[in-house]
Amino acid sequence: MKIIDLKTFPLAFKQNARNVSFLLVEVTTDEGITGIGEVSDCYGHQIPLAVQEIIEGRIKPLIVEEDPFNVEWLWNKMRDGLISTGYEGLVTQAISGVEIALWDVIGKALNQPVCKLLGGYKDKIKVYASTNIGLKGTPLKDQAKEAMGYIEEGYTAIKIRLLGHPKEDEAIVRMVRDYIGYDVDLMVDAYQRYTPSIAIKMGKKFEKYDLFFLEEPIPQYNLEALAKVRAAVDVPIAAGEHVYTKYGFRELIIKDAVDVFQPDCTVTGGLLESKKICTLADAWGIDCMPHSWASAVGLVAGWHLIASTPNCLMGEMSVGTFHPLRDELLTEPNIVKVSKGHVKVPKKAGLGIEIDQETLAKYAYTKS
């Protein structure tokens, strides 16, 4: 089997008057098998045409005529072939999408779901409700009631957001915790908005609310300060959605900076690289909770990672926002439906999904 073509599909939709963009990747082989993958920068992809050029202009000539089963070889060939462009950012994101598509091809060729090829572990995974509670500007009580609504739907874990304003941030955490009680896992995402000193102050305040983790309390690049925050507070620290490859996560370990890894397979190098990151974490007693804010393709790819990796505790499911490229993109949209806080990993070959072509055309990206 050989790769004969590589295509990209920039997509976008309007959310709250802004364009939210995505990029899918399709690998085609000489045996008529195609695989689908997704490139992300943590929130879809805000500059999809730049990644499109990397994939179609630089990566395609590197992998056409190659065997799609040679995932490790191709990963290194892509990375080495783009060395002058850089080892992180857009380059690794682009490689991620292609690599996921290769696994989809391999699974279809072998008639096996990707999670089985990655080791197999479970066919149903827990997901937490990833909300915009905390950012809405509506009364805190109304936001807390929304949080309770997700618990009533069957979620047993929920994440809320912080504005970076200490008084308001503690108020929403306190209000939500009072509503949902202490039997529900509560996570908070600070969006890197605190200084180290404020992060320590807020971390100490949050201790009494029994948080499952405090995500990215300070800018990602300051690992020494992040380690100081972690050492000073009795709240688990999570990070990783802006970290690239196993080498980046190795630095988190060396600096003793986090308690929970959050790799995103559409960002950090693909499925196998994310699997290596989780194995590295396991060796150091670190739990993993993969990040995901992708289309249905990246979301399901992450499920295959979680389903094959024992130290992945749960996945992320964005809720409460308009997201047609998650909810409408697949020919079987029920695949991405949550039931009692859990999702079933597709059992069909490859990623186990097929793209609805009408939806693909409907949300084609146009440069504004």
Give dist(CA 153, CA 143) in Å, integer: 16
User: What percent of the chain is predicted at pLDDT more than 70?
Assistant: 100
- Residue 303, pLDDT score: 98
The CATH number of 3-113+356-362 is which of 3.40.50.2020, 3.30.390.10, 3.20.20.70, 3.40.50.300? 3.30.390.10
- Give yes or no for a contact between 7 and 359, defined as CB atoms under 8 angstroms apart: no
Q: How many CA atoms lie within 13 A of 223 on its CB side?
A: 16
* CB 69, CB 75: distance < 8 Å: no
Model pTM greater than 0.95?
Answer: yes
Arithmetic mean of pLDDT, 87-108: 96
Determine the 3-state secondary structure of 41 from DSSP.
coil
Mean pLDDT computed over 268-291: 97
Q: Can you identify the CATH homologous superfamily of domain 116-344?
A: Enolase-like C-terminal domain (3.20.20.120)
157-161 and 3-15 beta bridge pairing? unpaired
Q: pLDDT digit string (tens) for 308-354?
A: 999 999 999 999 989 999 999 999 999 999 999 999 999 999 999 99
**pLDDT number for residue 203:** 98
For residue 49, the model assigns a pLDDT of 95
Neighbours of 223 (CB within 10 A): 20
Beta carbons of 320 and 160 less than 8 angstroms apart: no
pLDDT of residue 61 exceeding 70, the answer is yes
DSSP-derived letter for residue 346 is P
- pLDDT of residue 118 exceeding 80, the answer is yes
Domains 3-113+356-362 and 116-344 share a fold: no
Average pLDDT of the residues of the chain: 96
pLDDT for 238-266, tens place per residue? 999 999 999 999 999 999 999 999 999 99
Tell me the mean pLDDT in the region 23-27: 98
Q: Determine the Cα–Cα distance for residues 258 and 140; give it in Å rounded to an integer.
A: 30
Q: Which segments of the chain does DSSP mark as H helices, in order?
A: 48-53, 60-63, 71-81, 89-110, 114-117, 140-153, 166-180, 196-206, 223-232, 245-254, 271-283, 296-307, 324-327, 357-362
pLDDT at 43 over 90: no
What is the longest distance spanned by two Cα atoms in the chain? 60
Task: Give dist(CA 85, CA 182) in Å, integer.
Answer: 48
Give the Å distances, CA to CA, from 68 to 4, 9, 65, 105, 248. Answer: 10, 20, 9, 7, 26
Exposure string over 12-24, b if 16+ CB within 10 A, otherwise e: bbeeeeeebbbbb
**Predicted confidence (pLDDT) at residue 113 exceeds the cutoff of 90:** yes
CA dihedral 74, 79, 82, 87 (to 10 degrees): 160
Tallying the residues shown for the chain, one arrives at 368
Give the pLDDT of residue 368.
Answer: 63
Query: Which residue, 50, 148, 131, 109, is CA-closest to 321?
Result: 131
- Residue spans per domain, the chain: 3-113+356-362, 116-344
pLDDT at residue 40, rounded to an integer = 95
Inform me whether the pLDDT recorded for 35 exceeds 80.
yes
Alpha-carbon distance 67 to 74, whole Å?
A: 9
